[in-house]
Structure 1
Amino acid sequence: MADGPTGRSWWGWGNESEQLGDEECAALGALLPGLREHPVPVPDIRRLDLPTPRLAPPGALAELVSADPALRAAHTYGKAFRDVVRVLAGEMAAAPDLVALPRREADVVDLLDWASRENVAVVPFGGGSSVVGGVEYREGDHAGVLSLDLTRLDRVLEVDRESRAARIQAGAFGPALEAQLRPHGYTLRHFPQSFEFSTLGGWLATRAGGHYATGHTHIDDFVESMRVVAPSGVHESWRLPGSGAGPSPDRLFLGSEGALGVITEAWLRVQERPAHKASASVLFDDFPAALRAVRTLAQSGLNPANCRLLDPGEAMLGGAGDGSSSVLVLGFESAGQPVDALLEQALDLVRGHGGRVRTGGGAGGRPAADRGDGSAARPAADPAGAWRSAFLRMPYLRDAMTRMGAVVETFETALTWDRAPELIEAVRTGLGRAVEEITGRPGILNCRLTHVYPDGCAPYFTVIAAGRVGAQRAMWDEIKAAAGEILVRHRATITHHHAVGRDHRTWYDRQRPELFADVLRSAKSSLDPAGILNPGVLVD
Structure 2
Amino acid sequence: MSMTIRNFWGWGNEESAFDDQQIGQLRHLVGRQFGGVELTCQAPPTLADLAMPEPRLQPPQSLLPIISTDRRDRASHTYGKSFRDIVRGLEGDYRCAPDLIARPSTEQELLDVLDYASRCGAAVIPYGGGSSVVGGTEPRYEGDWAGTITVDMESFSRILEVDRTSRAAHIEGGIYGPALEDGLRPHGFTLRHFPQSFEFSTLGGWIATRSGGHFATLYTHIDDLVEATRVVTPRGSLETRRLPGSGAGPSPDRLFLGSEGILGFVTSAWMRLQARPEFRATRTVHFGDFFQGAEAVRRLSQSGLYPTNCRLIDAREALINGIGNGSKHLLIIGFESADHPVDAWLERALEIVADAGGSVQASREQTPDKGQAGDWRQQFIRAPYMRDALIRLGLVAETFETAITWDRFEAFHQGVSETVNRVTREVCGKAFVTCRFTHVYPDGPAPYYTVIAPGRRGDQVKQWDEIKLAVMETLIDLGGTITHHHAVGRDHRPGYDRQRPELFADVLRSAKQTLDPDGLLNPGVLI
TM-score > 0.5 by shorter chain:
yes
Distance 1:81 1:38 in 2: 18
Give the alignment partner of residue 173 of structure 1, picking from 163, 169, 176.
Answer: 176
Distance 1:42 1:56 in 2: 31
- Consecutive unaligned residues of structure 1, counting only runs of 5 or more, are 369-375
Distance 1:141 1:23 in 2: 47
Q: Deviations over 1:86-133 (max 9, x none)?
A: 011111111000001111222111111111122110001111000000
Q: Deviations over 1:338-360 (max 9, x none)?
A: 00000000000001011110114
Q: Give runs of aligned pairs for residues 167-246 of structure 1, distance below 5 A.
A: 167-246=170-249
Alignment partner, residue 60 of structure 1: 62
Alignment partner, residue 372 of structure 1: none
Give the alignment partner of residue 397 of structure 1, picking from 386, 390, 393.
Answer: 386
Q: Is the 8 A contact 1:26 1:404 kept in 2?
A: no
Give the alignment partner of residue 341 of structure 1, picking from 336, 341, 344.
Answer: 344
Q: Is the 8 A contact 2:4 2:14 kept in 1?
A: no
Shift of 1:60: 1.0
Read off the aligned partner of 1:223 and give its amino acid letter: V
Alignment partner, residue 23 of structure 2: 25
Give the alignment partner of residue 155 of structure 1, picking from 155, 158, 177.
Answer: 158
- Count of residue correspondences: 520
Alignment partner, residue 138 of structure 2: 136
Q: Is the 8 A contact 1:237 1:250 kept in 2?
A: yes
Read off the aligned partner of 1:257 and give its amino acid letter: E
Give the alignment partner of residue 417 of structure 1, picking from 399, 402, 406.
Answer: 406
Question: Which has the higher mean CA deviation after the structures are superposed, 444-453 or 20-29?
Answer: 20-29
- Consecutive unaligned residues of structure 2, counting only runs of 5 or more, are none
Distance 1:351 1:99 in 2: 55
Give the alignment partner of residue 479 of structure 1, picking from 464, 467, 474.
Answer: 467
Q: Deviations over 1:360-390 (max 9, x none)?
A: 4323xxxx7xxxxxxx5x23xx101111111
Shift of 1:235: 1.5
Any idea what SS the aligned residue of 1:450 has? strand
Residue 24 to residue 348, structure 1, CA distance change in 2 (3 Å): closer
Alignment partner, residue 350 of structure 1: 353
Distance 2:70 2:419 in 1: 46
Alignment partner, residue 41 of structure 2: 39
Q: Deviations over 1:12-45 (max 9, x none)?
A: 1111111123454344234333554431111102
2:289 maps to 1:291:
no
Alignment partner, residue 466 of structure 1: 454
Residue 194 to residue 35, structure 1, CA distance change in 2 (3 Å): farther
Q: Is the 8 A contact 1:319 1:383 kept in 2?
A: no
Q: Is the 8 A contact 1:316 1:323 kept in 2?
A: yes
Give the alignment partner of residue 252 of structure 1, picking from 240, 255, 260.
Answer: 255
2:7 maps to 1:9:
yes
2:96 maps to 1:94:
yes
Q: Is the 8 A contact 2:101 2:149 kept in 1?
A: yes
Alignment partner, residue 275 of structure 2: 272
Q: Is the 8 A contact 2:40 2:394 kept in 1?
A: no
2:516 maps to 1:514:
no
Q: Is the 8 A contact 1:217 1:451 kept in 2?
A: yes
Distance 1:27 1:306 in 2: 29
Distance 2:20 2:43 in 1: 8
Any idea what SS the aligned residue of 2:199 has? helix
Q: Is the 8 A contact 2:4 2:15 kept in 1?
A: no
Q: Deviations over 1:420-457 (max 9, x none)?
A: 111111122221011111112x2110000110001111
Q: Deviations over 1:128-183 (max 9, x none)?
A: 00000000111221111001000111111100111110000111110000000001
Q: Deviations over 1:238-295 (max 9, x none)?
A: 0010000000001110000000111111000011100000000000112111111100
Q: Deviations over 1:385-411 (max 9, x none)?
A: 111111111111111110111000000
Percent pairwise identity: 57
2:441 maps to 1:438:
no
Distance 2:476 2:426 in 1: 21
Q: Is the 8 A contact 2:80 2:135 kept in 1?
A: yes
Distance 2:49 2:321 in 1: 37
Alignment partner, residue 81 of structure 1: 83
Q: Is the 8 A contact 1:112 1:231 kept in 2?
A: yes
Q: Is the 8 A contact 1:279 1:332 kept in 2?
A: yes
Question: Which has the higher mean CA deviation after the structures are superposed, 336-345 or 112-121?
Answer: 112-121
Residue 463 to residue 127, structure 1, CA distance change in 2 (3 Å): same
Shift of 1:46: 3.7
Question: Which has the higher mean CA deviation after the structures are superposed, 224-233 or 23-32?
Answer: 23-32
Read off the aligned partner of 1:449 and give its amino acid letter: F
Alignment partner, residue 124 of structure 1: 126
Distance 1:89 1:267 in 2: 42
Any idea what SS the aligned residue of 1:238 has? coil
Shift of 1:318: 2.3
Q: Is the 8 A contact 2:134 2:488 kept in 1?
A: yes
Distance 1:234 1:249 in 2: 13
Alignment partner, residue 429 of structure 1: 418
Distance 1:522 1:199 in 2: 28
Any idea what SS the aligned residue of 1:308 has? strand
Question: Which has the higher mean CA deviation after the structures are superposed, 114-123 or 507-516?
Answer: 114-123
Any idea what SS the aligned residue of 1:449 has? strand
Distance 1:65 1:151 in 2: 13
Q: Give runs of aligned pairs for residues 355-394 of structure 1, distance below 5 A.
A: 355-363=358-366, 378-379=369-370, 382-394=371-383
Alignment partner, residue 485 of structure 2: 497
Distance 2:364 2:468 in 1: 38
Q: Is the 8 A contact 2:83 2:397 kept in 1?
A: yes
Q: Is the 8 A contact 2:49 2:92 kept in 1?
A: no
Alignment partner, residue 519 of structure 2: 531
Question: Which has the higher mean CA deviation after the structures are superposed, 116-125 or 170-179?
Answer: 116-125
